[in-house]
Amino acid sequence: MATHPGSIDRHGTEWRIRLCVGGKRHTFKMDGDRPREDVEQEARERDTDLRRRNGKGLPGPMPFSELLSRYLESEVPQLAPNSKKSYRTSLLAFSTYFVDEGGDLPAHEIRPGHIHGFMTWRRTHAPNGSKLRKPVSARTVAKDRVVLHIVFALGETLEIVDANPVRKTKAPKGDKREPLILTGDQYEALLRACEGRPMLALYSLLLGETGVRCDSEGLWLRWQDADLERGFIDVVSGGAKGQRTKSGKSRKVPMTNRLRAAMREHMATYRLRTYHGQRSPWVFHHEVDRRHAKAGERLTGLRRAFGNAAARAELPTDLRQHDLRHRRVTTWLQEGHDISRVQKAMGHSSVRVTEGYTHLIDQDLLSLVVDRGEEELRALVGT
């Protein structure tokens, strides 16, 4: 295991030492015939000398646990609620592997080999270190790798590490889950299965008609966010404690006539209703007191109810709430709407993200083959 600052590599017939001190990068070269041990010692001496002369160097090596703490304190609070939960799970896995089991090395001593070791370990272990009966998916490991890359990127910014060791590792390959795009009949079957459950019925219709993100956007909807007169839903970021969109930006999404009618009916029933002497500000709220929530409080999840409705509608078992967002994008694109407007409504970071949905519109692609076959058939029979 290397115990030197910066990076050392071969450059032609020479050794090259690269250091970063006080925000400045320094490069030194040594005779390629010198043994690596001498080069590492030279790197340590150069680094010590630069920090002494700079007077602004870091106080000393920072353990990996401290880097995790800094990331948790400075970066995680800015994430959307669901992202916070996901990132904290990854951070727990890092702490277990690198700190509890790995001895909490200084952050600058962690190398690509350590990162590879973590990914191998993560396939068979839960974040708390317990052994799993079934390996986690490659997608989960790849997600943890992305978060680890972000943590070390912060380390580079703070000059805690000279280079990001995650860059030299490869994400594990696995089968990518393709979104399940419901047909029109399947979509209607889902909505029928939600009848009799007002909150679930409007929630499912909202996801399907606007494509808003489920837990981080749809369930944060307040009465004033639904503009029935103009026909818009305001997806707000920062409007309430803990409320944040994935991008951190607010946006407007148009409502279909069907959704406007359903929203108007829902408002007539629930907007003026009082719970414990107060009106609920939330469109989706508890109607009765429960063990962990009072009537009028915001619903934080409808995943189980959605899954039960999908089962009643006899839809594929792997249907997810987020698939309704994918369906909204693809149907808009199929209908020929301007892609930049679709991007704006969906809150995608760029048009490229929206363009990525075009591969899901297989019906149009299939029609190309069918049309071509019909033309060739007519040519063969002379009609």
pLDDT in tens, 171-193: 888 767 788 899 999 999 999 99
Q: Name the pLDDT band for 307 (thresholds 50, 70, 90).
A: very high
Q: How far apart are CA 140 and CA 134, in angstroms?
A: 13
pLDDT in tens, 104-131: 999 989 999 999 999 999 999 999 999 9
CA distances from 121 to 38, 41, 118, 167, 243 (A): 34, 32, 5, 19, 34
**Ramachandran region of residue 6, left (φ > 0), alpha (ψ -120 to 50) or beta?**
left
Q: Name the pLDDT band for 23 (thresholds 50, 70, 90).
A: low
**pLDDT over 60 at 372, yes or no:** no
Residue type at position 167: R
SS3 308: helix
* pLDDT at 377 (0 to 100): 43
Exposure string of 208-239, with b = 16+ CB inside 10 Å and e = fewer, is: bbbbbbbbbbbbbbbbebbeeeebbbebbbee
* pLDDT at 245 (0 to 100): 82
The answer to whether 33 and 5 are in contact (CB under 8 A) is no
Looking at every residue in the chain, the average pLDDT score rounds to 86
Q: Where are the alpha helices (DSSP H) in 180-322?
A: 184-193, 198-210, 214-217, 257-270, 303-312
* pLDDT at 337 (0 to 100): 87
**pLDDT over 70 at 280, yes or no:** yes
**pLDDT over 70 at 27, yes or no:** yes
The answer to whether 54 and 190 are in contact (CB under 8 A) is no
For 34-43, 251-260, 310-319, 323-332, which range has the lowest pLDDT when averaged over its residues? Answer: 34-43
Mean pLDDT of 231-258: 86
What is the CB neighbour count within 10 angstroms for residue 168?
12
The answer to whether 296 and 275 are in contact (CB under 8 A) is yes
* Neighbour-count burial of 295, counting CB atoms closer than 10 A to its CB (0-12 exposed, 13-18 middle, 19+ buried): middle
Q: Name the pLDDT band for 141 (thresholds 50, 70, 90).
A: very high
* pLDDT at 284 (0 to 100): 97
Q: Could you give the dihedral angle defined by the CA atoms of residues 238, 243, 247 and 252, in that order, rounded to the nearest 10 degrees?
A: -70
Q: Which residue has the tokens 């860059």?
A: 167
Q: Name the pLDDT band for 379 (thresholds 50, 70, 90).
A: low
**pLDDT over 80 at 71, yes or no:** yes
Alpha carbons within 13 A on the beta-carbon side of 379 = 6
Helices vs. strands in the chain: H and E counts, helices first: 14, 8
Q: What are phi and psi of 250, to 5 degrees?
A: -85, 160
Mean pLDDT of 197-201: 97
Between 277 and 1, residue with greater pLDDT: 277
Mean pLDDT of 147-153: 96
* pLDDT at 368 (0 to 100): 47
**pLDDT over 60 at 253, yes or no:** yes
Mean pLDDT of 81-99: 91
Across-strand partners of 9? 16
Exposure string of 12-21, with b = 16+ CB inside 10 Å and e = fewer, is: eeebbbbbbb
**pLDDT over 90 at 8, yes or no:** no
CB-based contacts of 200: which residues, under 8 Å, 6+ apart?
194, 302, 305, 306, 309
Q: Which residue has the tokens 């250091």?
A: 19
The answer to whether 320 and 302 are in contact (CB under 8 A) is no
Q: How far apart are CA 383 and CA 378, in angstroms?
A: 5
pLDDT in tens, 349-370: 888 888 877 766 655 445 445 4
